[in-house]
Amino acid sequence: MVVKSQIKFIKSLQQKKYRILHSLFVAEGVKMVNELLRSDLKVKDIYTVDAHAIPFNNDYCHIISEADLRRISGLKSPNKVLGIFHIPDPDRLEFKDWIVALDSITDPGNLGTIIRLCDWFGIKHLACASDTVDCYNPKVLQATMGSITRVNVVYTDIADLAAHADVPVYGAFMDGESVYDQNWTKSGILILGNEAHGISQPLEAHIQKKVGIPQFGSVTAESLNVATATAIILNEIRRS
């Protein structure tokens, strides 16, 4: 049985301030929790209604009822397992390959998808402005599909990063040069901007090359989703 104080504590981790305070985050679902258990992340507690759904460990696993799982879950339809993990310290950014940098991305689904894209395209480091949504937000974690364990996410000053980088700095813009006409370098920084406003003006001053995705349709759409744009540009970087 999960006691009232435990329920309150676990539910509090749905909020960023408490995740930061305790350096813990919640992950839910059989697939997600198993992905995290296979990683180097340190486990605090696992709550499950089915001992066969995960590699059971008496040190941190607890069998609970479905009613209790519903009480601690942040999902409308809980999926057998909820895990509490320690937030790891991020690694230093490395510039041997490409780094993706995000300027004020606010949608959890977009960030989660971009983390998953970084994993798919072999991008090991993702830099995020401090006002980008928290990568341990439950909705972000769900969208990563486990890729959060294989991408180093660092929250930092993107303008300072771009200003002092020893690699080319590219930025995605609606009116940028076509991504299909670029001679992509072996390493660099690719910056993508906020869903509504794009890359901020202070940051724009540090971008050496503006790139864009040309439109082929006859009807002018307002813009591409930032995660979709990330996929197209990373594909071109890797294809070259």
Question: What pLDDT does residue 3 have?
Answer: 86
Instruction: Note the residue count of the chain.
Output: 240
**Could you say which residues of the chain have pLDDT below 50?**
none
**Per-residue confidence (pLDDT) for residue 222, from 0 to 100:** 74
Q: Do β-strands 61-63 and 152-155 pair in parallel, antiparallel, or remain unpaired?
A: unpaired
The residue assigned the tokens 């996410």 is 153
Q: Where are the domains positioned within the chain?
A: 4-86, 98-239
Question: What is the C-alpha to C-alpha distance for residues 142 and 146, in angstroms, rounded to an integer?
Answer: 8
Q: Which residues contact 164 (CB under 8 A, 6 or more apart)?
A: none
State the pTM of this model: 0.94
| Cα R_g (the chain), whole angstroms | 20
Reported as a single tens digit per residue, the pLDDT across 129-141 is 999 999 999 999 9
4-86 and 98-239: identical CATH topology: no
Q: Which of the listed CATH numbers 1.10.150.120, 3.40.50.12780, 3.20.20.70, 3.30.1330.30 matches domain 4-86?
A: 3.30.1330.30
CB 82 within 8 A of CB 10: yes
**95-142: pLDDT as tens digits:** 999 999 999 999 999 999 999 999 999 999 999 999 999 999 999 999
Task: Decide the pairing of beta strands 81-86 and 152-155.
Answer: unpaired
Which strand (E) or helix (H) includes residue 17? helix 16-22
- Pairing state of beta strands 81-86 and 24-28? antiparallel
**Topology of domain 98-239, CATH:** Alpha/beta knot (3.40.1280)
Question: Partners of 188 in the beta sheet?
Answer: 98
Tokens (6 digits) for 99: 């780094």
CA count, 13 A, side-chain hemisphere, 3: 1
